[in-house]
């Protein structure tokens, strides 16, 4: 009863329910190629301006992208130069510290053979923590910590080196007889 309908809405003029108006068997809509050619001037103008706008936008994005890459390369170069300079400065400073350390060690061992306890007492840092006992005394500065400088093995618990310091000073002032060459004493036994 129905004949095949085309994509554009044409159908045959038959006796069926769907007949053509006025005996015309052509399509109801024009093909797409004809529609595009008949589009308005406003739409064509918009497409032209849109294409120009998209090209300009793409150019701006490429320029911005190139600028970002150039700035990143400059930053990398400056960073590497600065890093090399810092490394060179650190190497020079470390060499100087090493020279001083070696000189101090040589001096220490030269003096250590003369007086052991004096040399050992010099190894104890001068800024060892001192625990101040307040016992009712009010100090001028209440914010001054009672424990200063060196922390102990546990947090908030300093190492009290005062007794060790006293013993080393006592031995420095009144040295006991110490065998200078313990290997000879062991070899003789």
The 10s digit of each residue's pLDDT in 170-187 is: 877 777 765 555 555 555
DSSP one-letter code for 90: H
Residue 70 sits in the same domain as residue 119: no
Q: Which domain holds residue 110?
A: 40-114
31 belongs to a structural domain: no
Distance CA 125, CA 161 (A): 10
Span of 31-35, 52-56, 94-98, 111-115 with lowest mean pLDDT: 31-35
Q: Compute the chain's Rg from CA coordinates.
A: 48
76 belongs to a structural domain: yes
**Domains of the chain: total:** 2
Query: Dmax over Cα atoms in the chain, in whole Å?
Result: 140
Look up the pTM and report it: 0.40
110-127 per-residue burial string, b: 16 or more CB within 10 A, e: under 16: eeeeeebbbbebeeeeee
């Amino acid at each position: 009863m129905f004949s095949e309908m085309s994509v554009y809405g044409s159908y045959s003029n038959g006796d069926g329910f769907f007949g053509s108006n006025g005996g015309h068997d052509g399509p109801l809509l024009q093909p797409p190629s004809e529609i595009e050619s008949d589009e308005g001037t406003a739409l064509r103008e918009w497409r032209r301006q849109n294409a120009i706008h998209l090209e300009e936008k793409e150019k701006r994005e490429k320029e911005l992208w190139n600028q970002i890459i150039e700035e990143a390369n400059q930053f990398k170069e400056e960073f590497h130069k600065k890093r090399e300079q810092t490394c060179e400065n650190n190497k020079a400073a470390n060499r100087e510290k090493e020279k001083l350390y070696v000189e101090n060690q040589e001096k220490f061992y030269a003096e250590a053979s003369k007086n052991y306890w004096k040399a050992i007492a010099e190894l104890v840092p001068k800024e060892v923590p001192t625990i101040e006992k307040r016992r009712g005394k009010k100090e001028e500065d209440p914010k001054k910590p009672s424990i200063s400088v060196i922390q102990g093995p546990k947090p908030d618990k300093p190492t009290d080196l005062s007794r060790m310091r006293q013993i080393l000073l006592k031995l420095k002032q009144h040295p006991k007889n110490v065998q200078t060459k313990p290997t000879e004493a062991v070899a003789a036994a």
